[in-house]
């Protein structure tokens, strides 16, 4: 018994020591092959510049520069430093104070602090400091109050609160000015002597010495400064907050050298205040442009990275270098917050979701969520345009909308919109008018006077579905009558001119995606990010462990590296609602060994839900692809999707995944039909053996039957109020598409052809 008890205690001690080792060294345990213990940067995809970080108990809050994106200054919340969501916006577009509303104007910086019984955020408008305060981080926030001072307070500041509760503003103005002054906790205004630290960068040793942040450890005050937009981060320390240069120690570069040749974030800086966790580890965020060789994503803006901070025995802090590989995440509780990416919206609420923004105040006043229930209305000026946008997330995704738009004059457009910071490089998939109703896909670069445009006649009418697909540096446009069967508009277009570095650092804000209306009112039923019913590349993962890319070109996919498992996450997958929800899931796989692929949502193990399991068999080789399917549990909405491998090393390669709707109903009801009968088209039987019957209330009808490769099998025309029989004898068993058209009405049905039953 004593021996058994000793063994138990020994194993407990080993586990505790192991946990401490993992916490101190970042070594990743084998458990990570089955559970989500890692993260992959960027944790904040898209432009998240100039961040500051604050801890309040078990909660973390972040803010940064919003520039001309309005409503201004979002506040982000997290419980694990990996998953973030916007919980409030500080300054509304309607604030009557003066904000420069042009590209790169707006609000710079967002310094968070807690003191004097309030939460505070300090920010810059036209190089002058303002603050707002609240009793909750969710707001409401007070109207901006200007900070009065005897010096120019700058535009790149932060706030540090000492152990005794005294808050200090760390001020930055121009290349040579670095100063510190206490804040009166009762009024939020500066008070006491101004400490002049201009000696720090008098010789430009630290480039701009910008974005000052401070933390305290073991009695030392650490002062972190960034170089410039391109990178560089340094640290100094002092035993007391003083302007006396002799008390300060310059400790050199903060970040460790990058050793990962595949790391594409190579200039991290503007470090947040490092934060200590309960397990003794320290963490901080930074921002960085993304570029590796000629593969540039700088157009996205400065994206948000998470770093472990390691302190040596002399007290010098070093931040982990950016890497393309998974990293052990902080030992913090999960919150259920999804990965930070654009969120789908069905426009059911009476107020706009916090994830949306506009590029100017005018656009922020030209929308409605109440004019038509369940729809977003965009109402542009007669000779202008308006929009609603998200920060671009990811490198492989789709954007989908359903639009109701009656284009009647040249210049009328409504649809999906991708744009850089000042709308000089844009792409649109739209319903519009160009000497007639059109459906179009265009990419326009006014900086180089280049435009690529594809247009077709709109035969579907005012209501149709539109989709943009981003496949790394290529984009495609599609349209549909029902959101199930999609037709590509023209050819794919390179997005390199949108993705690469932009003038004026893309006006500081990065690329945005969303909805646009020009010249006339348009209404949108929904906006879906990463449509799960459209094929999704496994390469588009946002987190992973134990899997690596295999193959090249169209045959490039992901496979497990060991027999321990492995997984990847596709964040923000939209799985529909109502009757438009998945019945099954299909993956394209290649394998000689075979194995099992599990499909989970929201997480793995106890915090997630397994919705499907797919058996993968031998396909004949790594370049021999087959489709494998399985039914899924009932699921809807937007979820982070996880794929988990089981089998020997390189068990199988997954190229893509797609969810499938159940067979759509073969009776189509048209609410606008003038006929008394409730159905316009009836199609039966399904599955079909030898012949198909169609009934219609429309006076004139056309039908086409295609296979899944879009090859026309049969077509014809028939009058309404009669039964039309179509002979399908001799047609091989399989899935076929029936398209019915009458005037501007169109509907698509999925048919299952089976062999004749022999008794």
Contact predicate 121/131, CB 8 Å: yes
Q: What is the pLDDT of residue 1?
A: 45
* Three-class HEC string of 73-141: EEEEEECCCCCCEEEEEEECCCCCCCCCCCCCCCEEEEEEEEECCEEEEEEEECCEEEEEEECCCCCCC
Q: What is the pLDDT of residue 4?
A: 47
The dihedral formed by the CA atoms of 602, 603, 606 and 610, expressed in degrees to the nearest 10: 70
Q: In what order do the strands lie in the sheet with 512-518?
A: 385-391, 512-518, 413-419, 425-433, 437-445, 450-457
Regions of the chain with pLDDT less than 70: 1-26, 663-679, 755-759
Contact predicate 539/549, CB 8 Å: yes
Read off the pLDDT of residues 314-357 as tens digits, 9 standing for 90 and up: 999 999 999 999 999 999 998 899 999 999 999 999 999 999 99
State both tokens at 323.
């890497």
Q: State the DSSP H helix or E strand holding residue 4, giving kind and residue range, or none if neither.
A: helix 2-25
- For residue 490, the number of C-alpha atoms closer than 13 Å in the C-beta half-sphere is 22
Read off the pLDDT of residues 643-702 as tens digits, 9 standing for 90 and up: 999 999 999 999 999 999 875 444 444 444 444 344 578 888 877 878 888 888 888 888
Cα 149-154-160 angle, rounded to 5 deg: 80
pTM of the predicted protein model? 0.85
Q: What is the pLDDT of residue 722?
A: 73
Q: How far is CA 710 from CA 196, 224, 454, in A?
A: 72, 60, 20
How far, in Å, CA of 165 to CA of 267, rounded?
A: 34
Q: What is the pLDDT of residue 742?
A: 84
Q: What is the pLDDT of residue 671?
A: 44
How far, in Å, CA of 46 to CA of 513, rounded?
A: 11
349: CB partners within 8 A, 6+ apart: 369
């Amino acid at each position: 018994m004593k021996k058994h008890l000793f063994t138990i205690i020994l194993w407990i001690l080993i586990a505790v020591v192991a946990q401490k080792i993992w916490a101190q060294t970042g070594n990743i345990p084998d458990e990570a092959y089955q559970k989500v213990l890692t993260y992959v940067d960027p944790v904040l995809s898209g432009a998240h510049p100039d961040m500051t970080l604050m801890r309040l108990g078990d909660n973390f809050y972040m803010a940064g520069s919003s520039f001309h994106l309005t409503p201004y200054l979002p506040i982000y919340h997290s419980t694990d430093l990996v998953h973030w969501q916007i919980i409030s916006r500080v300054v509304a577009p309607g604030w009557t104070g003066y904000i420069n509303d042009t590209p790169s104007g707006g609000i710079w910086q967002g310094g968070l602090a807690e003191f004097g019984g309030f939460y505070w955020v300090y920010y810059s408008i036209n190089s002058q400091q303002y603050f707002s305060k609240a009793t909750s981080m969710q707001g409401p926030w007070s109207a901006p109050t200007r900070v009065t001072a005897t010096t120019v307070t700058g535009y790149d500041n932060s706030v540090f609160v000492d152990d005794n509760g005294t808050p200090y503003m760390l001020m930055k103005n121009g290349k040579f000015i670095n100063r510190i002054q206490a804040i009166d906790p009762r009024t939020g205004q500066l008070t006491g002597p101004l400490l002049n630290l201009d000696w720090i960068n008098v010789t430009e040793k630290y480039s701009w010495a910008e974005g000052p942040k401070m933390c305290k450890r073991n009695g030392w005050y650490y002062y972190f400064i960034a170089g410039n937009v391109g990178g560089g981060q340094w640290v100094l320390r002092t035993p007391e907050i003083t302007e006396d240069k002799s008390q300060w120690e310059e400790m050199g570069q903060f970040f460790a050298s990058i050793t990962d040749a595949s790391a594409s974030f190579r200039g991290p800086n503007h470090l947040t205040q490092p934060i200590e966790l309960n397990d003794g580890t320290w963490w901080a965020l930074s921002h960085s442009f993304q570029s590796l060789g000629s593969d540039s994503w700088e157009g996205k803006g400065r994206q948000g990275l998470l770093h472990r901070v390691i302190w040596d025995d002399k007290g010098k802090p070093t931040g982990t270098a950016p890497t393309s590989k998974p990293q052990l995440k902080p030992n913090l509780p999960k919150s259920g917050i999804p990965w930070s990416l654009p969120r789908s919206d069905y426009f059911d609420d009476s107020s706009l979701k916090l994830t949306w923004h506009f590029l100017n105040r005018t656009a922020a006043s030209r929308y409605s969520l109440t004019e038509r229930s369940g729809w977003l209305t965009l109402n542009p000026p007669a000779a202008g345009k308006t929009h609603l946008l998200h920060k671009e997330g990811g490198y492989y995704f789709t954007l989908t909308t359903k639009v109701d738009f009656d284009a009647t004059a040249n210049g009328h457009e409504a649809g999906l919109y991708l744009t850089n910071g000042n709308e000089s490089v844009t792409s649109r998939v739209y319903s519009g008018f160009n000497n007639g109703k059109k459906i179009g896909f265009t990419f326009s670069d006014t900086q180089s006077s280049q435009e690529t445009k594809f247009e077709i006649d709109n035969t579907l009418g005012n209501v149709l579905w539109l989709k943009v697909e981003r496949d790394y540096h290529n984009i495609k446009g599609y349209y549909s009558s029902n959101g199930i069967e999609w037709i590509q508009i023209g050819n794919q277009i390179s997005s390199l001119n949108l993705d690469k570095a932009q003038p004026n650092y893309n006006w500081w804000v990065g690329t945005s995606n969303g909805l646009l209306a020009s010249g006339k009112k348009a209404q949108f039923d929904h906006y879906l990010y990463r449509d799960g019913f459209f094929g999704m590349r496994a390469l588009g993962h946002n987190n992973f462990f134990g899997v690596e890319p295999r193959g090249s070109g169209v045959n490039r996919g992901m496979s497990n590296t060991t027999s321990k498992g492995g997984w990847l996450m596709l964040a923000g997958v939209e799985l529909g609602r109502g009757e438009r929800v998945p019945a099954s899931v299909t993956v394209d796989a290649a394998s000689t060994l075979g194995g099992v692929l599990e499909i989970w949502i929201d997480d793995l193990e106890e915090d997630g839900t397994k919705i499907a399991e797919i058996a993968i068999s031998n396909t004949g080789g790594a370049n021999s692809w087959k489709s494998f399917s399985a039914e899924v549990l009932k699921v809807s909405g937007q979820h982070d999707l996880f794929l988990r491998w089981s089998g020997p090393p390189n068990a199988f390669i997954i190229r893509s995944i797609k969810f499938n709707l159940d067979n759509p109903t073969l009776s189509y009801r048209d609410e606008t039909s003038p006929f008394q009968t409730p159905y316009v088209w009836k199609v039966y039987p399904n599955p079909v053996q030898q012949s198909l019957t169609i009934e219609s209330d429309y006076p004139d009808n056309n039908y086409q039957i295609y296979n899944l490769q879009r090859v026309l099998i049969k077509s014809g025309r028939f009058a309404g109020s009669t039964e039309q029989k179509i002979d399908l004898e001799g047609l091989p068993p399989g899935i076929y598409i029936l398209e019915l058209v009458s005037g501007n009405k169109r509907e698509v049905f999925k048919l299952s052809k089976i062999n004749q039953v022999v008794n």
